[in-house]
Structure 1
């Protein structure tokens, strides 16, 4: 079965992963006919996010071995895609590689300037219950810049390189793909199926508007401190009850909007250092030459609006309604 390749698209988060995953899902049969398997196993929300759990226990490994045998019998190249893979260790990739000794092992990584990605990442985390303010998240992230899985991926990439070899890593510049509308073209080119699946340039998994993200963050805090059942995400309850048009919500949104400030992202010292590192170490491993970092101004919340007594009163009211209660008890 020589000549086959296992491609791992590892994200990372907020680099357009959902976009290419959804296109791959819709064209999986076309891809399979062309010799590239986009498996249905370990699949959730268009990507293979559950692949990260296959070595959690002996039983998980036994099941995974049988699935791998099933994939191999199809005699195709294999594409696995999950941004969660960018959080995994070198040991994980070493074990995975060991199950495919007859396959070439290729990594696909979409590169995005750290501070630019960080704004989108904060908005995404808030969707799922995150409570830190943007300034707090920003500060902590920059202090942890060298840590794997945070805004700097040097350690992660070094771990990967030790497992698969530098020659088996391919980088795609997210900023260039967005500007040229060719994220899917890039992926198809890397896997040797240039033009098979075309870009539709429909945005997926959109970030929340920044003021709404800040409102949800405050509601997340309220849920943490209340005696309410936390089984339903605050954002989902808010949308299910269609609270956006409530007068209290509109007033809160006005307060938050007045509290926004501009910051410049994309060309900070961290971005420039990250770009220099990527170009100096991997310039010949990029699909196309990466664009030089350029700053752009974005609005982010200060968080000072929460010190307004009127805002706290309105927030209390909105949260109570979102929980289907007239009054909610908060823990000290």
Structure 2
């Protein structure tokens, strides 16, 4: 029976870099009978396929596409992780002529929570890190962020536990073997035919600096209220026009934020040790490259108290006005 490998992410486990690698290596994958299709591709991942599943819109031509040859297929999108049991059942039933294999990357929660919080802010969120962190820690047994076994239980129920493959992302990252470990999860053999190109900004969702993410967080609220900016519009405008913003305004904001920062140690928290124990008990045999991880790292965080400093409101208002002006002028130039 043909295989369909479904790479479900999750977010912040090297998915964009893996997808770029797969786009660059479609030929050596095909030489081992695995197709990473251009169909459904958006940038590097098959994010449109997630919407097809969610909306129950797999058409006869889609089914024919997967069935017309004898190749195995690989679909990858970190957005697959947000699908529920009914969505996955729909996929399994629609492609019942495939042996569906799940590839899931497990990353310790305390290392990725800050990165996930940044993604929330980049897409229009306004919650500070401490509130975001507490919301998950207060319910570790029901948070899929802290308890990867919750989603894995669903995937095992739908596709069979034997068809779930787990990559220990932290182990792969530490040994610099993420691509090799992923190829292994796809039942392929690593060879010199595979090319690892230098990772550029298009293939890496980079974290923003502490000061930048805090300014964007504040502007999300202000510019949403004053100018109707929604989603990632603030972050995109800020990144594009940052160098054109008044230097004295941004430097004063940076100074204020800096006076309200502190350094925290993350890693090897209770949530990590709990997840490690549960994962080994329930999915130890499914983890391809497990390594015990007791490492820690320093994280510099800003308290929301910086927003209460006396000049901040005027500084942010000036910044928002200038940013909106620059963004509007660019859009008018494009339309003309």
The residue number in structure 1 matching 2:58 is 61
Residue 287 of structure 1 and its aligned partner are, at CA, apart by 1.3
Equivalent residue pairs, number? 320
Does the CA-based 8 Å contact 2:24-2:195 persist in structure 1? no
User: Any residues of structure 2 matched to 1:254-293 within 5 Å, and which?
Assistant: 254-293=255-294
User: Any residues of structure 2 matched to 1:198-209 within 5 Å, and which?
Assistant: 198-200=195-197, 202=199, 204-209=204-209
The residue number in structure 1 matching 2:7 is 9
- 1:135-173 Cα offsets, whole Å, 9 max, x none, are 111111222433364432322111111111111111111
Aligned match of 1:168 in 149, 163, 166? 163
Does the CA-based 8 Å contact 1:113-1:293 persist in structure 2? no
Does the CA-based 8 Å contact 2:256-2:309 persist in structure 1? no
Does the CA-based 8 Å contact 2:156-2:164 persist in structure 1? yes
The residue number in structure 1 matching 2:97 is 102
For the residues of structure 1 that align with 2:152 and 2:205, how far apart are their CA atoms?
Answer: 25
- For the residue of structure 2 that corresponds to 1:309, the secondary structure is coil
The 10-residue stretch of structure 1 (240-249 or 13-22) with the greater mean CA deviation from structure 2? 240-249
For the residues of structure 2 that align with 1:149 and 1:201, how far apart are their CA atoms?
Answer: 32
What is the TM-score normalised by the length of structure 2?
Answer: 0.89
- For the residue of structure 2 that corresponds to 1:291, the secondary structure is coil
The residue number in structure 1 matching 2:40 is 42
Residue 278 of structure 1 and its aligned partner are, at CA, apart by 0.8
For the residues of structure 1 that align with 2:276 and 2:195, how far apart are their CA atoms?
Answer: 28
- For the residue of structure 2 that corresponds to 1:193, the secondary structure is coil
For the residues of structure 1 that align with 2:114 and 2:268, how far apart are their CA atoms?
Answer: 13
The 10-residue stretch of structure 1 (139-148 or 205-214) with the greater mean CA deviation from structure 2? 139-148
- For the residue of structure 2 that corresponds to 1:314, the secondary structure is helix
The 10-residue stretch of structure 1 (278-287 or 268-277) with the greater mean CA deviation from structure 2? 278-287
Change (3 A) 1:291 1:200: farther
The residue number in structure 2 matching 1:221 is 221
RMSD: 2.0
For the residues of structure 2 that align with 1:119 and 1:71, how far apart are their CA atoms?
Answer: 38
- 1:268-295 Cα offsets, whole Å, 9 max, x none, are 1111101111112122211112332322
- For the residue of structure 1 that corresponds to 2:105, the secondary structure is strand
The residue number in structure 2 matching 1:314 is 315
Residue 198 of structure 1 and its aligned partner are, at CA, apart by 4.6
- For the residue of structure 2 that corresponds to 1:54, the secondary structure is helix
Does the CA-based 8 Å contact 2:35-2:74 persist in structure 1? yes
Structure 2 unmatched ranges of 5 or more: 327-336
Aligned match of 1:22 in 16, 20, 23? 20
Change (3 A) 1:57 1:15: closer
Does the CA-based 8 Å contact 1:108-1:171 persist in structure 2? yes
For the residues of structure 1 that align with 2:129 and 2:231, how far apart are their CA atoms?
Answer: 25
| 1:186 aligns to 2:181 (yes or no) | yes
The residue number in structure 1 matching 2:235 is 235
| 1:33 aligns to 2:31 (yes or no) | yes
Change (3 A) 1:76 1:209: same
Does the CA-based 8 Å contact 2:165-2:287 persist in structure 1? yes
Does the CA-based 8 Å contact 1:87-1:149 persist in structure 2? no
- For the residue of structure 2 that corresponds to 1:146, the secondary structure is coil
- 1:279-312 Cα offsets, whole Å, 9 max, x none, are 1212221111233232222111111110001122
Change (3 A) 1:122 1:231: closer
For the residues of structure 2 that align with 1:45 and 1:148, how far apart are their CA atoms?
Answer: 29
For the residues of structure 1 that align with 2:5 and 2:292, how far apart are their CA atoms?
Answer: 24
- 1:5-34 Cα offsets, whole Å, 9 max, x none, are 111111101111111011111222332233
Aligned match of 1:152 in 147, 157, 160? 147
- For the residue of structure 1 that corresponds to 2:3, the secondary structure is strand
- 1:65-94 Cα offsets, whole Å, 9 max, x none, are 422311221321111111111111111111
What is the TM-score normalised by the length of structure 1?
Answer: 0.90
